[in-house]
Amino acid sequence: MELTGRLKLIADMTPKCNIVSDIGTDHAYIPIFLVKNNICTKAIASDVRIGPVNVATKNIEEYRVSDKVITRIGSGLESILDNEIDVVIIAGMGGMLIKELLEKSLDKVKKANALILQPMYAIEVVHEWLCENGFEVYDEALAKEDHKIYNVIACKWAGCNQKKDEIYYHIGEKLFEKRDPLLKKHLQNKIDQLDKIINQMENMKEKESIKKAEYLKLKKNLYNALNCL
């Protein structure tokens, strides 16, 4: 089995471990890849819906890893036992939903040796929540797939709450430290998105809105960061 794009990056950033719990597994490609490549000895493919679990089960059987990958049905980490918390992957969801799932099982995720998170949008919500709840982002990287750029965050609980400049919630601090190869393009994409939002607010005649001022400030900071690279 070969993975590409964001799925490959998620797998690459998953540390070698005993058990991986893939929350919202969908097709179970990541757990299958991880056990077949000896990155973990066992994996749990969990999803809240029976449809994806059935698809996952079919793929697990097809790749002959039923002895190493098991499926669960449940919301978030509700299906994962306390003694199964090792490495947790939550990918392919919006940032707000990821935050809610982490918040709902905070005691569990604090015990994880690593959390691998891949928000499809609203990444700033995830970054801010992690900082405010004592999690350390020890790595972050970007992957390009179908003309889109995706963030993958690797973090763990460190017990030290932080507050960062807003730009680092939207563009992970580690990306700047590493000078990620896709960072310039990622910054430009963010600026373009903000331009569209600001233009829409112009059309709505919200020229004096506080929100618009916040977007303009963020755009300026992103632009300055881009020019410094």
User: What would the DSSP string read from start to end of 112-160?
Assistant: -SEEEEEESS-HHHHHHHHHHTTEEEEEEEEEEETTEEEEEEEEEE-S-
| Predicted structure pTM score | 0.94
Structure tokens at 133: 């709840």
The single residue listed with the structure tokens 């990620």 is: 180
Same domain, 127 and 196: no
Same domain, 146 and 114: yes
Q: What is the pLDDT of residue 206?
A: 57
Q: What is the pLDDT of residue 147?
A: 87
Same domain, 189 and 134: no
Residue 68 CB partners (closer than 8 Å, separation 6+): 35, 41, 42, 43
Same domain, 121 and 214: no
Structural domain span for residue 221: 184-228
Q: What is the pLDDT of residue 205?
A: 63
Q: Distance (Å, rounded) from C-alpha 38 to C-alpha 178?
A: 27
- The whole-angstrom distance between residue 7's C-alpha and the CA centroid of its chain comes to 11
Same domain, 174 and 205: no
Same domain, 153 and 198: no
Same domain, 159 and 71: yes
Same domain, 52 and 19: yes
Same domain, 80 and 98: yes
Which helix (H) or strand (E) covers residue 20, if one does? Answer: strand 17-23
Same domain, 111 and 144: yes
Contact assessment for residue 95 and residue 122, using Cβ atoms and an 8 Å cutoff: yes
Last-in-domain residue among 145, 161, 178? 178
Q: What is the pLDDT of residue 66?
A: 97
Contact assessment for residue 37 and residue 106, using Cβ atoms and an 8 Å cutoff: no
Q: What is the pLDDT of residue 207?
A: 56
Same domain, 19 and 68: yes
CATH for 37: 3.40.50.150
Q: Distance (Å, rounded) from C-alpha 53 to C-alpha 28?
A: 8
Q: Distance (Å, rounded) from C-alpha 138 to C-alpha 120?
A: 20
Structure tokens at 112: 């994880």
Same domain, 11 and 28: yes
Q: What is the pLDDT of residue 208?
A: 60
Q: Distance (Å, rounded) from C-alpha 42 to C-alpha 129?
A: 29
> What is the total count of domains within the chain?
2
Q: What is the pLDDT of residue 200?
A: 82
Q: What is the pLDDT of residue 159?
A: 93
pLDDT in tens, the chain (229 residues): 889 999 999 999 999 999 999 999 999 999 999 999 999 999 999 999 999 999 999 999 999 999 999 999 999 999 999 999 999 999 999 999 999 999 999 999 999 999 999 999 999 999 999 999 999 999 999 999 988 999 999 999 999 899 999 999 999 999 999 999 999 999 999 999 999 888 888 766 655 677 888 888 999 999 999 999 8
Residue 199 in 3-state DSSP?
Answer: helix
User: How many CB atoms neighbour CB 8 within 10 A?
Assistant: 16
Q: What is the pLDDT of residue 204?
A: 66
